Structures are given as structure tokens and as C-alpha cells.
Structure 1
Amino acid sequence: MQDAIFFDTLRQGLWIAVMIAAPLLSVALIAGVAIGLFQALTSVQEMTLTFVPKVGAMLIVFWVSMSFMSETLVDFFTRSLVPMIAGF
């Protein structure tokens, strides 16, 4: 296998990983900032207040974007990796 093909496939795989992780990470960031701001404004320092809503928001976003994640991974595998492994 040529180095250019290997590095191009690796670049595509990393970009797919960024695209798949972006919705979850952005919701975690937004929820964390919102909860931190709420805690700073109200002086409530409860540990479960930071954890439970953030996990709940991430689960909802994961459930909503699961089809996008699956389609993206299946497309990457069927268009890039499987033909490369099969030698087409």
C-alpha cells in the first residue's frame, strides 16, 4: 500500500471521528457552561447538579443523532475501507 493512500484514509477516518463526536461534545460544552453559570449565579454547589443534566442532554443528543452517526460510519466503511481491504 502506498503511503499517500494510507495517510488519506487515516485523514478521512479522523475527520469522520470529529464529525461524529461534534454533536455530543458541543452539547456537553453548552450544558456545562450553562450549569456552571447557573451555579455561579445562585451559589448552589451541588455536584449532582453538574453531572445529571449534562449526561441527560448528551443521551438525548446521542439518541437523536444516532442515525447520522451510523450512516456516516457505514458509508465510510463501504466506500473506503472495504474496497481497500478487498483490493478493488
Structure 2
Amino acid sequence: MSDAFVLDIGKQAILTALSVSAPILIVSMLVGLLISIFQAVTQIQEQTLTFVPKMIAIIIILLILGPWMMKVIVQFTQNMLSNITYITK
């Protein structure tokens, strides 16, 4: 097992994790920003106001992009399992 192979596995793992988590993080950040702007404009300073809209947005994004996320994770896992013979050498 060469150093380049190990680095490639690490790179694939990081890119997979980033690509799967990015949509949820971006939507959560945008919803939080919009709620913060709304709170600043209306001077409502309730800390728990952002929780429910963020959770609803995350659930919607998971319903829409969930199959794609699962497909990416399954492809990564299948790739790792198919390369297991190279890892043990």
C-alpha cells in the first residue's frame, strides 16, 4: 500500500463527506441568515425563533436530496470495499 493510495483514499473520504453535508449546511446557514435579518428588522430578539424554520428546511432538503446523498455514500462504500484487497497488501 503506497502513500499515494492512502492519500487518495483520504481525499475521496473528505470530498464525499463535504459533498454530502454541504447542501444541509448551506440551507441551514441561509435560513439562519434570513431569520436573523427578519429579527433585526422587526426587533424580535427571540433565541428559539430560528430553530423551527431550520429544522423544517433541513427536513425538506433531506427529502429532496436524500436519495442522491445515499447514492454518493453507497458508491464511496462500494469503492472502498472493492479496493480492500489493495489495502491489505
Do residues 45 (structure 1) and 48 (structure 2) align?
A: no
Which aligned pairs between 1:1-88 and structure 2 lie closer than 5 A?
1-78=1-78, 80-87=79-86
Long gaps (5+) in structure 1: none
Equivalent pairs: percent with the same residue?
36
Task: Give the total of aligned pairs.
Answer: 87
Query: 4+ residue runs of structure 1 moved beyond 2 angstroms?
Result: none
CA RMSD, Structure 1 to Structure 2 (Å)? 1.4
Q: Tell me, what secondary structure is at the counterpart of 2:83?
A: helix
What is the letter of the counterpart of residue 84 of structure 1? N
- Render the CA deviation track for 1:38-78: whole Å, top value 9, x for unaligned: 00000011122111111111111112111011100111121
The whole-number CA distance in structure 2 between the counterparts of 1:70 and 1:41 is 39
Letter paired with 2:80: L
Runs of 5+ consecutive residues of structure 2 not aligned to the other structure: none
